[in-house]
Each structure stands twice: as structure tokens, then as C-alpha cells.
Amino acid sequence: MANRASTRFLAGVIEGFYGQPWNQAERFELLDRLAASGLNTYLYAPKDDLKHRALWREPYTPEELGQLTSLIARCQMSGLKFIYALGAGLDICYGEAAEIEKLQQRLAQLLAAGCEHFALLFDDIPDRLSPEDHGRFGSFALAQCHVANAVFRWVRERSPAARFLFCPTPYCGRMAERKLGGENYLETIGRELPPEIDVLWTGPEIISREITVEHVREMQRVLRRKPLLWDNLHANDYDGRRFYCGPYAGRTPELRKEIAGVLLNPNCELALNFVPLRTFAEFVRGSAAWDARHAYLAAMAEWWPRFATGGQPVPLEDLVLLGDCYYLPFEEGAGAEVFFQRARALLATDPAEWGEAAGKFLAQSARLRELCARLTELRDRPLFYALSRRIWELREELDLLERYVTARRENKSSAAALRSDFHLPGTYRGGLVPRLQRLLAPRADGSFMPPAAP
């Protein structure tokens, strides 16, 4: 069983998203939840901490270092591994000794603050070398291994028990297939990196719907070690309209024996991560077959008390339906899927044939829309602020559908009857980004084409 007693198996959270990093109070809350859940790792890698990535050569100020020192101490007090990550790949000169010394200086500052474990990240960077580095190393992978090995040896001399992580430039199957980083990139780092260095991997895709045992065993062969999963299943930094409060899914318990650990990179808004973290911890600790939906329903019941309002209470059944609307990247929850299919069937059918279906749709839609309005009274204001923009959009779409279905059911088919005073051109679904999105339509195979001409 993978649990906190399994010190080699890393299980926890990466603060690794793009966007505003969590504040100190949020991080302390997260650490308490990780420890209470039996998880063992927190990886510090917020993309928009400038000194983690864009300004990686600059040391932290005393005030900034004080914040990190407190975070490290809190981890150690809670029995958690604190791993500090540095992302130097945007502009590092791999062959210059001064650059390696700069990396060592940065990590020395963290060592002095009590940090024992480190990571070098080379993700999301241009896969090209300067002429000087190309002449010396010949390949992107060899240049990165040169730097990583030098820093790893330096760290291990000062922190002999250090875990040391490496994120490759092609960090998912699709990137590797497209030969990002060059020919035989992954085979090269598998051969050149010492086996003690953990290699991070997100699965077949950046956001992987499934990660199978077969896929991971193939990566073991290529990397010559068990991969350490950086799991983006619940990450939402790529789409600010969505969040994911569904369960940890698409991974079987058998997977745990084939990996060095799994770190979840969750929603940017910490308040929205209750169910993802609760179900993830249960997956890591469990030994039986994994029932993601059952875990989701149990976690939603635990989250429910956080939805106390200043007015009418929120029924658990309604909260589950709301969560189903923001479930996982590739699927809606069961209740939301039924609701969507009911709406689509109505719009594709002659109103004369609707019968009771229209009434059922309108009743459920109104209930969900009214729940969105009721959540404005949440006593937990950070939770409401995390939800507010998303549920506002949901309310608008539900309101529009209800107006349309009501008008058609009453045999009103004129343009005036189907117009809404609250969904006006330019303000509703307006702006440049939606206009650009309408220029190319996504197809089922992932390709894009202009939509059919009107």
C-alpha cells in the first residue's frame, strides 16, 4: 500500500500552475490538509513566482526568504517533504560554468533556510540551443543532463538524503511522439541521468484522461526508472471559465506499484480543491478497487457543510448536481450529463412533441439556476469568490435556455418573442476572444476547421 509510511513513494500536491500563486495562509491550510490525509509531499513550483522561473538568477529578498523558511518549517513539523523547484530553462546557457554556479547559489539560499529536496524543471520552454551550446553538446537532452547532473552532485554533497526531481521538456506522450526536444530525447535522459534522479511525467497527454499501467511500464523502459507522475487532471489554469471538483479518476490502484509517486497539480483556486484532494488521498491510501463516483459522492457530503448560507440551506442533492456541472476536463458528472442531453433533445424536437419533457427540463434548470443565486449568500466568502464568475456564466446560459423553451412551448416563434433583454449582442458572449473562437470549429478528432458557411 502506498501511504505516508512509504517514504520513497511521493504523494501530495504541486503548486505548479500558471496564475497568481497561493498566499501563505492558503499554503498552511493546504499543508494541514495534506498531513491530515496521510499525504507526504508539497512541491513548490508556482510558474508566476518570478524567482522560480522568469528571474531564476535573482535571490529571494529577506522577506521573501522568510516566507519560504516558514513554509519549510511547517512542512517539516507536519511530516511533509518540501521540494523546491527551479525553472531555469527559458534562457539558461547550458555550457557556461557561471550559470551552474548561479543555480547552486540559488539552491544554497534554500538549503540555508532548511530545504532538503529540490527539482530542476525544463518544461514549457523553447526546444532549441544556442550555437555555442549546440556545438558543445550536440543535443538538447545532453545539455540539460550536463546541468542537472552537476547540480544533483552538488546538492547531494550538502543534503545526502535529498530527493532530486527533473522535469523533461517533452513531459507527455504526445510531446515525445512529436519529437519535442529532438530525436531520442527521453532515451538520452534515461541513460545520462543517475537513477537516483526522479523524472516527472504527465502521462499520454498534458492533461491525461487515463494513465494506464501499460503506458507507465513503457515509460519505465524508456526512462530506465519508475516515472514520478505530475498529474494535471484537475488543473484549470488553461481555461479560466472552468474548474474541476470531480474525483480522482482514470487511474487504477495497480498503477501505484509502477510509479515513484504521484503529485497532483490542482485548480488554481485552493477553495475549489476539497473533492479533488480528498479523493486523491483516498486513492493513494486505499487497497481495494477504486470507485471514483462513490468517492466523489462521499467527498461532496464532507464538503457540504462549507456551503452554509445566510439564507436558505443548500440541499446536498443540488450541490452534487452543481459539482457534476464542473466535474472533470473530459466529462460531466452523471447528473449534468443527463441534464444536458435533456436540453439537447428538446432543442432538436418539434415543440408539439415535447409533452412533459419541457416541464421537467424547466424545473431542473430553474432549481440549478436558483442554487447559483443562493450561493451569493455563502458565509465562506473565499469559496464564493472562487465560484462566482463561473456560476454567473452558468446562470446566464440556464436563463437563456429557459426563456427559449418557454417561448417555444407557448407557440411563440417570432424573433421578438425569442429575444432576451439580458443577453444583448456585444455584451453577451462578446469580445475579441469569443469572436476568434468562432473562426475555427473543433472536430471530434482534435483538428480544427472553419465552420460551414451560413
3-class DSSP state of 150: helix
Residue 421 a catalytic site member? no
Is 151:100 a contact under the CB 8 Å cutoff? yes
Q: Give the CATH number, domain containing residue 386.
A: 1.20.58.240
Q: Give the domain range for residue 63.
A: 10-289
Q: Residues 6 or more apart from 245 whose CB is under 8 A from it? A: 267, 272, 273, 274, 275, 276, 323, 326, 327
31's grid cell: 499543508
Q: Give the CATH number, domain containing residue 267.
A: 3.20.20.80
My answer on whether 139 and 279 are in the same domain is: yes
How many Å apart are CA 143 and CA 120, to the nearest integer?
13
- The type of residue at 346 is L
Query: Cβ atoms within 10 A of the Cβ of 386, count?
Result: 18
My answer on whether 265 and 331 are in the same domain is: no
My answer on whether 340 and 238 are in the same domain is: no
Q: Residues 6 or more apart from 314 whose CB is under 8 A from it? A: 304, 307, 308, 371, 374, 375
How many Å apart are CA 232 and CA 216, to the nearest integer?
16
Tens-level pLDDT at each residue, the chain (454 residues): 344 335 689 999 999 999 999 999 999 999 999 999 999 999 999 999 999 999 999 999 999 999 999 999 999 999 999 999 999 999 999 999 999 999 999 999 999 999 999 999 999 999 889 999 999 999 999 999 999 999 999 999 999 999 999 999 999 999 999 999 999 999 999 999 999 999 999 999 999 999 999 999 999 999 999 999 999 999 999 998 999 999 999 999 999 999 999 999 999 999 999 999 999 999 999 877 899 999 999 999 999 999 999 999 999 999 999 999 999 999 999 999 999 999 999 999 999 899 999 999 999 999 999 999 999 999 999 999 999 999 999 999 999 999 999 998 888 776 767 777 788 888 888 888 888 888 888 888 888 889 875 5
Active-site residue (options: 32, 49, 124, 350) = 124
Which of 318, 308, 275 has the alpha carbon at shortest distance from 294? 275
Concatenate the DSSP letters of all residues of 31-43 into one string. HHHHHHTT--EEE
81-86 vs 228-231, strand pairing mode: unpaired
Q: What's the predicted TM-score (pTM) here?
A: 0.93
Tell me how many domains the chain contains: 2
